[in-house]
Chains A and B, each alone.
Chain A
């Protein structure tokens, strides 16, 4: 019998396949349920590390710099990601502030931190301390990062405010857009490759 690390099990229907040889950007689908079972990402580990460091800086910037600013009869106001979380803390609805804070700041921050940790060691062909725990945690965190939804929310808010007050995008919005794209690229399923590439 072959070594089981040459096998892939489809997580949606439990079919077993021999790992197919894939070229860059190619993906393999499950014959039975059509799910993507394996793909070769277009970024190497060092490139991921570089993008990840960029994402870390953007996240710090986006959390505390204004995303949108409004003007009403000469008075100015602006809000960052952290302000949006803070606005939900008061009153009986504070539980939702925890959910929003987790999905917009805490989860992305943890993802970037863990990835930086793993990839920095991988750069020197080493397994980081806590490698297995970090990989498992990243898998648990993945569905709970919601930056792209917030980006759409910011655009919706601008439209909702026009006519009542003057609303304009601030520097944070562009950083948020860049961060959203980066997170989609670096925090996806592709990082499962680390299991194989780091001995």
Chain B
């Protein structure tokens, strides 16, 4: 036996406090927390596309521009995200290289692909593998913020290594774009509504 959908019982979920509001009683606001009620998150598809595209545009300078600059005595060098992974690998710190590669490259790219896939399938009103697509969405919520790793590492390194002529580390513009990519993809994940996946199934019933 499959459970009923909220619409069929004239109920509506409050996004903020997750209360099951009865539409017979409260039409516009949650009776428990007073937040505005929406059937689905407002304009979910358009907003998610917009945030996703903005993140994708920023992802280019995030990878092309250097994220930090190292100066020490005679040396003066800048590194990009991929450059820092390669450097770590060549220094023999392959474990840390893998962690940074996953957090800074695999996770953002996976977020782009998964969100685009979910948006396209929702817009095509696909009815297949709804359960798996919902699980993908929950996965996005879990991994989303781990990409901030590189931003925190740059901040900590820049705060620590300040020895004047003996050595200095300074943040560079690339890290700003990368941080914005992470924030924008997190916002895109939050504005998407996974219940849209199930709307196609419900209309069948």
Q: A4-B20, A8-B20 are in contact. Are A136 and B33 (CB under 8 A)?
A: yes
- Residues of A114-144 at the interface with B, using a CB-CB cut-off of 8 Å, are 132, 135-136, 139-140, 143-144
A181 at the interface (CB under 8 A from B): no
Q: Is B44 in contact with chain A by the CB < 8 A criterion?
A: no
Taking a contact as CB atoms under 8 Å apart, the answer to whether B96 and A156 are in contact is yes
Stretch among B46-54, B118-126, B146-154 lining the A interface = B146-154
Give A94 Cβ to nearest chain B Cβ, in Å: 9
Picked from A34, A77, A97, A104, the residue with its CB within 8 Å of the CB of B160 is A77
Q: A152: shortest Cβ distance to chain B, in Å? A: 6
Given contacts A32-B198, A33-B134, A100-B151, contact A14 B13 (CB under 8 A): yes
Q: Does B22 contact A (CB under 8 A)?
A: yes
Q: A12-B194, A35-B134 are in contact. Are A88 and B20 (CB under 8 A)?
A: no
Q: Determine the chain B residues whose CB is within 8 A of the CB of A97 once the complex forms.
A: 155
Q: Which of A14, A85, A159, A192 contacts B96 (CB 8 A)?
A: A159
The distance in angstroms between the C-alpha atoms of A8 and B13, with both chains bound, is: 9
Give the distance in Å from the alpha carbon of A156 to the alpha carbon of B154 in the complex.
10
Question: CB of B173 within 8 A of chain A?
Answer: yes
- Please tell me if B2 contacts chain A, counting CB pairs below 8 Å: yes
Query: Which residues of chain B have C-beta atoms less than 8 A from A86's C-beta?
Result: 159
Q: Tell me the complex Cα distance, A144–B4, Å.
A: 33
Most chain A beta carbons < 10 A, residue from B5, B144, B156, B202: B156
Determine the distance from Cα of A17 to Cα of B6 in the docked complex, in whole angstroms. 9
B159 contact from A16, A31, A84, A163, Cβ within 8 A? A84
- Number of chain B residues close to chain A: CB under 8 A: 73
The yes or no answer to A154 lying at the interface (CB within 8 A) is yes
Chain B contacts of A24 at CB under 8 A? none
Residues on B with C-beta less than 8 A from A13 are 130, 134, 194-195, 197-198
Pair A157/B163 contact, Cβ less than 8 Å: no
Q: When each residue 119-149 of chain B gets 1 if its CB lies under 8 Å from chain A and 0 otherwise, what string results? A: 0000000000011001101100100111011
The one of A79, A96, A163 that contacts B179, using a Cβ cutoff of 8 Å: A96
How far, in Å, is A148 (CB) from chain B's closest CB? 9
**Chain B residues, Cβ within 8 Å of A15:** 2-6
Residue B18 at the A interface, CB < 8 A? yes
Judge whether A68 is part of the interface by a CB distance below 8 angstroms.
Answer: yes
Please give, as numbers and ranges, the residues of chain A lying within 8 Å of B110 by CB-CB distance. none
Chain A residues 4-44 with CB under 8 Å of chain B are 4-5, 7-9, 11-17, 30-35
- B162: interface (CB < 8 Å): yes
* A135 and B5 contacting across the interface, CB-CB below 8 Å: no
| Set of chain B residues within 8 Å of A87, measured between Cβ atoms | 155-156, 158-159, 171
Q: Which of A34, A75, A150 contacts B152 (CB 8 A)?
A: A150
CB distance from A1 to the nearest CB of B (A): 8
Closest to B166 in A: A72
Contact for A161 among B100, B157, B170, CB less than 8 A: B157
Binary CB contact string for chain B from 4 to 16 against chain A (1 if under 8 A, 0 otherwise)? 1111110101011
Q: Is the beta-carbon distance between B134 and A16 smaller than 8 angstroms?
A: no
A30 to B131, CA, bound (A): 10
CB neighbours (8 Å) of B11 from chain A are 4, 7, 9, 16
- The answer to whether A75 touches B149 (Cβ under 8 A) is no
Distance between A150 CB and nearest chain B CB, rounded to angstroms: 5
When chains A and B are docked, how far (Å) is the Cα of A51 from the Cα of B135?
Answer: 32
Chain A positions within 8 Å of B, measured between CB atoms, are 4-5, 7-9, 11-17, 30-35, 67-70, 72-73, 75, 77-79, 83-88, 91-93, 95-97, 99-100, 103-104, 132, 135-136, 139-140, 143-144, 146, 149-150, 152-154, 156-157, 159-161, 163-165, 167, 192, 195
